Structure 1
Amino acid sequence: MNTISHTPTFIYTFACSDDERSLWGLEMRSLFGQETESFIMKSPIDIDPSRSPFIKEQIEIMYEGQNLADILKQVEDIVLNKETFKVIFVKINDLAEANKVSYEDRRIMEKDLGLHINGEADVHNPDHVFGIVTLGGRWYFGKYRKNDAVWLLHMKKPRNYSIALGTRLARAVANIAVPNPNGIHAIDPCCGIGTVLVEALSMGIDIVGRDINPQIVQGARANIAHFGYTSVVTFGDISDITDSYDVAIIDMPYNLFSSTTPEEQLSILRHARRFASKVVIITIEAMDDMIAEAGFVITDRCVARKRSFSRHIVVCT
């Protein structure tokens, strides 16, 4: 039997649609430095599951073993005194279909684990939540966290714009741009009604916004304030930006929906090259030649699809 080392390790489960797989892969590479074809992964990197629209759960591993009996013995070390707890069997795993654990067996395992923990079980409002999961032929037990899907609340903005990014896409883009917020100063210089700003701010990312349309700027400010966040959103052209930023997120004005010309798009990219070390570009069509002409090198990319509509997400330095 093995117990966890002093360095924390985590297991994550994921969910995404077929249209989102490319976007999910890019977000995973950005957050974890790796991706997986299955919907479960082990990593030394601690990511709040609520940051990602694709992470379902996180387990911080406390104990591991070859089988459930190993785990049952180890959880006897947990002493919660008068604090309450709950144990959840994580349904997403890498077991072959023939070896899947039935609902009834999952409940039995949860009950058995609970009987070996020194504390009071409470399935409704526990002080502690633990998870049990199998991965790679081993069993893992640890502290359980579930995604709270805050981006769903952000869909109900007081100000809306028909071509604004969806909140799931905006949240993933914010993670791709700023996988680790510590010390990073970001800007959305074509922020529209602030969809990316709201998602980024909700994750503790230091980001400001700007837009050339004064009415849209007012809408972005109203949306940010509505959800209780604080940021600076200024009115003006991208050419007037003089500060430097670690990263810029640019939802490129689309020819399909605006009068922005290719020359104006190139100007936006050239200015972004001037004030940002890294840029994440969102566009409805590939624009690799224009990106190169602006002085960027593409380091990663994906295509985010929604039915017949696609957006290219391009990471540049």
Structure 2
Amino acid sequence: MQLNKTNRKFIYTYSHHEDEYDLCRLEMRSFFHFDTELNYLMSDIEVAPSRSPFIQDRLEVLYESNSIEEMKELVEKLNITAESYKVVCLNTMDLGDTKKIHHPDRRLIEREIGLCIEGEPELDHPEIVFGLLLLENHWYFGIHVKSESVWRKHMHKPKSYSTALSTRVARTVVNIAVPVIDNVKVIDPCCGIGTVVVEGLSMGVDIVGRDISPLVCVGARENLAYFELDGTITKGPISEVNEHYDVAIIDMPYNIYSHVTPEEEYDIVKQARRIADRVVFITVDTIDHLIEKAGFTIKDRGIAKKQQFERQVIVCE
């Protein structure tokens, strides 16, 4: 089956906790250059759904219609080379003003459309999965890719500490910092136990880690090895970084064990300006004045919230 690589349309469905609303929208803007209050969006930009903790499904649209009957006629023209297929109706939850389609009705629709496709239906291990989606009384049919929650596997790492970013937030921050991963060099110069580095490497990002604490570096390397990720963790302060990077991701030290003075805090920001073109800061304290003093421009920002605890995520160039 040949797909037209121009004028492609993708539909992404989203799900997140209310605390994650702001962070999810910041990730949307990084990937797609706009956001929406809705729990779905359409774009011509292709993003692997498993990159985001919030994306549920991606549908690459092949056909659009105003009714199921019209869609059946369109699908009958489909020429697929796959030996087996499956059709899935994606209206498993309310999407904007479009109400969820209940399970028995979804199965009926899937069967109706499936019967119009040449080939062998295969529910368990199909070669290709087609998706069908109703939005605002309009039907969309195309190639479906379901998101896999890769980050969940990384929750159970051998070394961790309570103040580290959650795997979900870390993965989102990597996406915000590096929406397109090709030919982008990234560093986390205060990497701690390596949560950001693990998420980055698992998505194919060219990222290295660094930390001033030798003990923490050992733990970060152990985490990478546990997940069979090939990465580099170097011991040393950010001031000793000699290479230049496209992007730096910095979770600013803030707890009683890694307390830094205002001067040391500014030095981290100033060094970040030296080593990278684009920096995403994660901070509990307000550091806008330090960011501007170092010569950065704040391009975007959001809040990573967990109940009453908030971290600012600030995108700078």
Q: Taking structure 2 as the reference length, what is the TM-score of the superposition?
A: 0.95
1:199 offset after TM fit, Å?
Answer: 0.4
Name the CA distance, whole Å, in 2 between partners of 1:275 and 1:214: 22
> What is the aligned partner in structure 2 of residue 140 from structure 1?
140
User: Contact 1:210/1:217 (CA < 8 Å) preserved in 2?
Assistant: yes
1:4 offset after TM fit, Å?
Answer: 7.3
> What is the aligned partner in structure 1 of residue 105 from structure 2?
105
- CA shift in 2, pair 1:258/1:81, >3 Å: closer
Name the CA distance, whole Å, in 1 between partners of 2:307 and 2:265: 26
Name the CA distance, whole Å, in 1 between partners of 2:96 and 2:84: 30
1:6 offset after TM fit, Å?
Answer: 4.1
Equivalent residues in 2 for 1:246-257 (5 A)?
246-257=246-257
User: Contact 1:242/1:275 (CA < 8 Å) preserved in 2?
Assistant: yes
> What is the aligned partner in structure 2 of residue 223 from structure 1?
223
1:181 offset after TM fit, Å?
Answer: 0.6
Name the CA distance, whole Å, in 1 between partners of 2:165 and 2:79: 47
User: Contact 2:89/2:132 (CA < 8 Å) preserved in 1?
Assistant: yes
Q: Which amino acid aligns with 1:281?
A: F
Percent of pairs with identical residues:
46
Name the CA distance, whole Å, in 2 between partners of 1:136 and 1:175: 30
What is the DSSP-based 3-state SS (H/G/I as helix, E as strand, rest coil) of the residue aligned with 1:286? coil
What is the DSSP-based 3-state SS (H/G/I as helix, E as strand, rest coil) of the residue aligned with 1:295? coil
> What is the aligned partner in structure 1 of residue 291 from structure 2?
291
> What is the aligned partner in structure 1 of residue 311 from structure 2?
311
Q: Does 1:53 align with 2:24?
A: no
1:81 offset after TM fit, Å?
Answer: 6.5
1:127 offset after TM fit, Å?
Answer: 1.4
In structure 1, stretches of 5+ residues that fail to align are: none
Q: Which amino acid aligns with 1:150?
A: V
> What is the aligned partner in structure 2 of residue 268 from structure 1?
268
> What is the aligned partner in structure 1 of residue 21 from structure 2?
21
In structure 2, stretches of 5+ residues that fail to align are: none
Q: Does 1:214 align with 2:224?
A: no
Q: Does 1:65 align with 2:65?
A: yes
Q: Which amino acid aligns with 2:210?
A: R
- 1:177-204 per-position Cα deviation (integer Å, ceiling 9, x unaligned): 0000111101000000100001011111
Name the CA distance, whole Å, in 2 between partners of 1:95 and 1:41: 10
Name the CA distance, whole Å, in 2 between partners of 1:263 and 1:255: 16
What is the DSSP-based 3-state SS (H/G/I as helix, E as strand, rest coil) of the residue aligned with 2:153? helix
Q: Which amino acid aligns with 1:315?
A: V
Equivalent residues in 2 for 1:114-263 (5 A)?
114-263=114-263
Name the CA distance, whole Å, in 1 between partners of 2:50 and 2:32: 15
1:176 offset after TM fit, Å?
Answer: 0.4
Worse-superposed segment, 22-31 or 71-80: 71-80
Aligned residues: 314
Name the CA distance, whole Å, in 2 between partners of 1:264 and 1:125: 55
Q: Which amino acid aligns with 2:147?
A: N
- 1:237-263 per-position Cα deviation (integer Å, ceiling 9, x unaligned): 111111100010000000555221111
Q: Taking structure 1 as the reference length, what is the TM-score of the superposition?
A: 0.95
- 1:112-156 per-position Cα deviation (integer Å, ceiling 9, x unaligned): 011111111121221111100022432110111111100000011
Name the CA distance, whole Å, in 1 between partners of 2:232 and 2:284: 27
- 1:87-113 per-position Cα deviation (integer Å, ceiling 9, x unaligned): 11112454646x653322211100101
What is the DSSP-based 3-state SS (H/G/I as helix, E as strand, rest coil) of the residue aligned with 1:209? strand
What is the DSSP-based 3-state SS (H/G/I as helix, E as strand, rest coil) of the residue aligned with 2:168? helix
